[in-house]
Structure 1
């Protein structure tokens, strides 16, 4: 973890999976962290494009050149070792076909869908990022550990996340329309 962000994050998609999961984990708690969901979603999409193309997408130059200070590095090292100890208890290589190269496109699409569902702003609801964050964590660790069972769980949670964001937007639209109708404001179609 010495040096720049590019050095710390690594050059391969497998290395970046650890960072992606660490970024997504705070969003598992339904607390609003302004801007965090967009950052995690964007990083998820960046890694997803790397999976889809078969080559990691480089970090933006301004981010890659940033130096990590000693305090941040120490905190990240402790957090990383703790998370790896916990995840290592459950994850192990199994159902390997889901993490092989032929499945790379499906994995990239699912990771991209989870990232996009995290980036879509859902007004008023503070727990809207929990499902996409869980999907990102499961897919990231499933790919990192080659654990097909985690990947399957990540796929299911991704589908639930996309459906929940869609339902929240649909419900919000219906509620807003009803509220405007009750106020006597209607729009002609």
Structure 2
């Protein structure tokens, strides 16, 4: 970990995937953190674009040059060490065909779909980011550890996240339409 964001986030996909998973983990709990889902979703799209292109996309200059203070670096290092210790025990290289170079674009697309499903605002519901966050964590660590089982699970969770967001939007639209029609019955027009 360096002093700037560019040094800390790193220039390789493997380093960036660790940070993406670390950012997504707090969203696994159904609590509302305003703006967090959009930021994680945008970073997810950024990394997914790099995966699809085959090379990491440089951070924007304004973000790359941002300095981290010593206390933040210490806290981040401790958190990363703790998470890596736990995840390394769970994952291992297996089903390598899913994490090989030919599957890179498919993994990038699934990661971008997970990021997009996280960025879509779902009104009223506070647990709408749990599935996309889980998908991002599984895909990130699956790619990082070359664990095809984690990747496959992440892809399935991504599909479930997309379906849940679509269902929540459909249900919300139906509810809003029903409420508007009931209120309109009482209006004197």
Interval containing the TM-score (normalised by the shorter chain): over 0.9
Q: CA offsets, 1:157-184, max 9 Å, x none?
A: 0000000000000000000001111112
Alignment correspondent of 2:113: 113
Residue 62 of structure 2 corresponds to residue 58 of structure 1: no
Alpha-carbon offset, residue 110 of structure 1: 0.3
Distance in 2 separating the partners of 1:86 and 1:12: 22
Q: Normalized against structure 1, the TM-score is what?
A: 0.97
Alignment correspondent of 1:137: 137
- Within a 5 Å distance, the mapping from 1:65-80 to structure 2 comes to 65-80=65-80
Alignment correspondent of 2:126: 126
Alignment correspondent of 1:163: 163
**Backbone CA RMSD of aligned residues:** 0.7
Alpha-carbon offset, residue 14 of structure 1: 1.2
Alignment correspondent of 1:100: 100
Alignment correspondent of 1:4: 4
Alpha-carbon offset, residue 93 of structure 1: 0.2
Distance in 2 separating the partners of 1:61 and 1:37: 22
Q: What secondary structure does 1:183 align onto?
A: helix
Aligned residues: 185
Q: What secondary structure does 2:104 align onto?
A: helix
- Within a 5 Å distance, the mapping from 1:86-97 to structure 2 comes to 86-97=86-97
Q: CA offsets, 1:19-65, max 9 Å, x none?
A: 00000000000000111001100000000000001011111110000
Alpha-carbon offset, residue 13 of structure 1: 1.1
Runs of 4+ displaced beyond 3 Å: none
Alignment correspondent of 1:29: 29
Alpha-carbon offset, residue 69 of structure 1: 0.5
